[in-house]
Amino acid sequence: EPEVTQTPSHQVTQMGQEVILRCVPISNHLYFYWYRQILGQKVEFLVSFYNNEISEKSEIFDDQFSVERPDGSNFTLKIRSTKLEDSAMYFCASSEQGGLGQPQHFGDGTRLSIL
Amino acid sequence: DQQVKQNSPSLSVQEGRISILNCDYTNSMFDYFLWYKKYPAEGPTFLISISSIKDKNEDGRFTVFLNKSAKHLSLHIVPSQPGDSAVYFCAAGGSDYKLSFGAGTTVTVRA
């Protein structure tokens, strides 16, 4: 069964450094998402992406965050200058279509630890 | 974000019996609801969904019930199996395509 893959599984970075989290969505999917889960908290929506542009973003997704689809298969989340509070599990998801009950399929996540 | 609530952090059930997980929501603009299952060190896995125009959806051992007037949904797993032990998340979405998640319920199926 096709799946969303994320790399790396664990990223340790010094505060203030840039980090790029990578995702390969399911190949025929058109909608892409990033979520995060801070330890002990809920899974939170960050951003959705369709047709090479952001379609929705949360208040968490400030100017320090950016997303890109650099080629036909990868979808990346960049955090420009990491803060301690960015430490979390980051999940990438994709769906064949948007909304209307189309399930979003999640990767296994990247654990980001900011020191 | 308190729009989706799972008030039971944990549930323990005997193997073979029914597991019932509950979820409440506050946003009447949600038009579809999903349940995800999550094992440690893995991402959420989609289980089953329901549109707001329906009140029941069934897929094998999993059935989701939606009560729109009460803004409440539930997931029934019958019969429960040891492999069902996991964290279950309720999620809701609307026209903006983003999902709002509950805090999760940890299910333990006892042999």
How far apart (Å, rounded) are the C-alpha atoms in residues B61 and B78?
5
Neighbours of A69 (CB within 10 A): 16
Considering only CB atoms, B42 lies closest to which of A55, A93, A108, namely A108
The 10s digit of each residue's pLDDT in A54-111 is: 999 999 999 999 999 988 789 999 999 999 999 999 999 999 877 666 899 999 999 9
Question: Looking at residue A100, what is its pLDDT?
Answer: 62
Nearest residue of B to residue A10, measured between CA atoms: B41
Nearest residue of B to residue A50, measured between CA atoms: B97
Chain A residues within 8 A of B97 when measuring between CB atoms: 31, 33, 48, 55-56, 98-99
Cα–Cα nearest to B86, from B105, B59, B111? B105
Considering only CB atoms, A48 lies closest to which of B1, B34, B97, namely B97
Low-confidence residues in chain B, pLDDT < 50: none
Residue of B45, B53, B99, B101 to mutate, interface with A, max A Cβ within 10 Å: B99
Yes or no: say if A25 and A4 are a contact pair by the CB < 8 Å rule: yes
